[in-house]
Structure 1
Amino acid sequence: MTTSSDSCIESKGSLARLAPLEAVLFDVDGTLCDSDLLHYYAFREMLQEIGYNGGTPITEEFYSENISGTHDEDCAVFLFPDDRERGLKFVEDKEAMFRKLAKDQLKPLNGLNKVIKWVESRGLKRAAVTNAPRPNAELMISMLGLSDFFDAVIIGSECEHGKPHPDPYLEGLEALKASKDHTFIFEDSVSGIKAGVAAEMPVIGITNRNSEHLLMEAKPTFLIKDYDDPKLWAALDELEKAGAHSV
């Protein structure tokens, strides 16, 4: 069994091989901001209204295991396997409800400003890569004050395949003209971690509201609680030292 201290050592080694670092790719929902709870509230209320699951409210575990991080079309098919069109309309209405909630309640993830400054001060390329529909992504990025931070915003539904396929992250690399050998990813969902791993980049998983066990099964490089986690900064320090030695 790998201990947490071993995991930290492995994570440092894994990030150190990226030196010199070129780019950082960020998921949006649950990664830049604590939005998953708002999505869960919207799904729970709207599904209960239509009598889904016999009118019994869905649990946060159900949301985390089956809905969080999925592409809207996949979510529609999962919830309404016999009526895709109804599913798509439901998900569209749910996204509108989420945007209303987000305007009043969206909050950045702890330490986000610190990691944003770290990326900016080193002149790294950066992109947001998300399965969220573009109106959601642009609203969240704008509310967080990051509209001018990202060099590109990649939307899963605008790619041939969304996450968990690697396409969105590969498109992010292409948009930035960056190498996968010098780029890492921040993600909080199983589907997102799988997408990053499939794109052959190290993924730092964030245990925001998803199960640590499920996230680990997707094989992130290591997990952090948020951007204030000492494990993250130890790994970034190690990466910088490796970069200095490679000059």
Structure 2
Amino acid sequence: MSTLATSLHLFPNNPFVRTKSVLPTFSTTITSASSSSYPINSNVSLSSIAPLEAILFDIDGTLCDSDPLHYYAFRDMLQEIGFNDGSPIDEEFFINNISGKHNEELCSVLLPDWEFEKAMKFMVDKEALFRRLAAEQLEPISGLNNVCKWVEDLGLKRAAVTNAPRSNAELLISMLKLEDFFEVIVLAEECARPKPFPDPYLKALNALKVSPNHTFVFEDSVSGIKAANGAGMPAVGMATRNPEQMLLDAGASLVIQDYNDPKLWENLQEMVQQKLPISSK
């Protein structure tokens, strides 16, 4: 691997140094709505889900803060092959062109002139690099354990639904110690179409034998929110790395910063105790 440039202010701690370190800050530079407000997107309402029966979770960026590691892996490997005339991709490019997309789609987005088999080999190598980084630096989203306990205490059904390859999904779930939490794990690579198509979420609903009318989704990406909405479910957007307004524009019904967000817990309690819809009030 080539030596990464260290001048980028977005990631002051280079994860390619093979030491245990704090996951670098991945601060967005894209203008977004105020993080103190949580407007409701009128396209999809959460009011129809009461009584709540199930919650579906994306993995990358939703269970764990993995986007910085994906970014590093793509930035280094793309620079090595001379992508963008050898200039490293920046955070804005990653958010707008890579985040949330399936590897087969990324082959045409990033490497349109390559033969598909060669482009997929690049993606496989990138995922292997990501797993090496994740094994050293992966951190759960703040409050994840609390929301998982809440789900278990209520006896809600739950599934993980991801565009990530099996090896990534298994590693992340194992590192987060959620092997016994999820009843079902749905991989987009085993569906006819990945997110943003609804197929993975429809498969999860079928496996859990629940109605989309009583289920909602935690998602952090535009493609994931569109997939959830397409399957007939509202989505709570996780503004882990992607701008809040981007998630709202994609169709998120509510955007939160992490699982400790007071607005999330206020609404969850209301849904369970009073069977009220999530609201921005």
What TM bracket, shorter-length normalisation? over 0.9
Q: How does 1:4-23 map to 2 (within 5 A)?
A: 7=39, 14-23=45-54
Does structure 1 conserve the Cα–Cα contact (< 8 Å) formed by 2:41 and 2:251?
Answer: no
Within-5 A mapping of 1:1-247: 7=39, 14-83=45-114, 84-243=116-275
2:130 and 2:207 mapped to 1: Cα distance? 28
SS at match of 2:131: helix
1:87 positional shift: 1.4
Q: 1:5-25 deviations in whole A, cap 9, x for unaligned? A: 673698xx9445312211000
Asked whether the equivalents of residues 80 and 86 of structure 1 are also in contact (C-alpha less than 8 Å), the reply is no
| Alpha carbons of structure 1 residues 6 and 54: separation in structure 2 relative to 1, 3 Å | closer
Give the total of aligned pairs. Answer: 241
One-letter amino acid of the counterpart of residue 158, structure 1: E
TM (norm. structure 1) is 0.93
Distance 1:229 1:185 in 2: 16
Mapped to 1, the partners of 2:275 and 2:69 lie a distance apart of 39
Name structure 2 gaps, 5 residues minimum.
1-32, 277-281
What is the TM-score when the length of structure 2 is the normalising length? 0.82
SS in structure 1 at match of 2:49:
coil
Q: Deviations over 1:57-114 (max 9, x none)?
A: 0011101111111111001111111212221111110000000000010000011011
The alignment yields a C-alpha RMSD, in angstroms, of 2.0
Task: Indicate the structure with greater helix content.
Answer: 1
Aligned residue identity for 1:89: K
Structure 1: 5+ residue runs without aligned partners? none
Give structure 1 regions of 4+ aligned residues with deviation exceeding 4 angstroms: 2-6
Aligned sequence identity (%) = 59
CA distance in 2, matches of 1:80, 1:47: 10
> Match for 1:112: what amino acid?
L
Q: Which residue identity is paired with 1:117? A: K
